[in-house]
Copies of this chain bind each other. A is one copy, B any other.
């Protein structure tokens, strides 16, 4: 697929399509100044890994997007229209390049009464993410300030919705970098590890692969973590949803942050202390998830 698409206005390493329009040159502005996505981060998105020209776990991501839309009271278009949009982008994506497919749905124009704006992009996976897969990452904890179970009873805090309002997510990662780390593990006021700004916490306790319960905490339901746990039997592991503290994590057989594009990144240090690490476990998880 390298060729026609790229030559007809599709810029190198990025493809953009608009719902109802199709593929447009990637440098075309697509959001108006009065789009609530531009003004308020008022919308939702999904990111998917593109391998051999196809979006991995597309169904699961579309399912989560529908759940985000419900929590945000957003009129997400029908699933087949989103599948078609994703297909338009992927038809122009070179099959030999690892990619990230994003689907974005904003609340639309400020005065449009709920008619959403939907677009999709494909772009290349950055070298930094690939390196994190190989080498693991240094993680520091940062408090979200509230108790682990608070968001269950506070729907206005949008627990479990993957919104476009990622300023705090990005600021958390910048803060991690400012203290010499790669990423953050958000913790609750009562001391539990919750999730990372763009990934899900999993850890191995003896031969049980664990993650944080979604409904109890209001964290985002990680599609990669869910798929991993659903297939952990093939690695000889049972699975469980548990609460865990940062100190508890240091006593496990290893911890990872999983996400759609970075895939799996071993937590090599936590708040500066070395974490249990197994190159073999990490490699087997990476292979099972299908990341290079």
A interface list, Cβ under 8 A from B: 14, 16, 26-43, 45, 72-73, 102, 104, 106, 110, 119, 121, 123, 142-147, 150-151, 154-158, 161, 163-172, 174-175, 184, 189
Contacts and interface: CB of A to CB of B under 8 A. Distances in A.
A106 B104 CA distance: 17
A30 to B, nearest CB: 5
B155 A150 contact: no
A169 B32 CA distance: 21
Copy tally for this chain in the complex stands at 2
A51 to B, nearest CB: 21
A157 B174 CA distance: 11
- Name the residue among A35, A166, A171 with the largest chain B CB count within 10 angstroms: A171
Contact of A156 (B16, B42, B154, B172): B172
A106 B161 CA distance: 22
A215 to B, nearest CB: 17
Contacts of A40: 41, 164, 166-167, 169-170
- Name the residue among A27, A145, A154 with the largest chain B CB count within 10 angstroms: A145
A191 to B, nearest CB: 14
B167 A72 contact: yes
Nearest to A126: B111
Contact of A121 (B33, B119, B163): B33
A164 B29 contact: no
B34 A14 contact: yes
Q: Which 9 A-B pairs have the closest CB atoms?
A: A41-B41, A145-B146, A165-B165, A165-B167, A31-B31, A163-B167, A40-B166, A29-B29, A156-B175
A114 to B, nearest CB: 12
A144 B171 CA distance: 19
A23 to B, nearest CB: 11
Given A40-B167, A164-B165, 10 more contacts: A14-B34, A28-B29, A29-B31, A30-B31, A38-B164, A72-B167, A72-B171, A145-B151, A161-B167, A189-B189
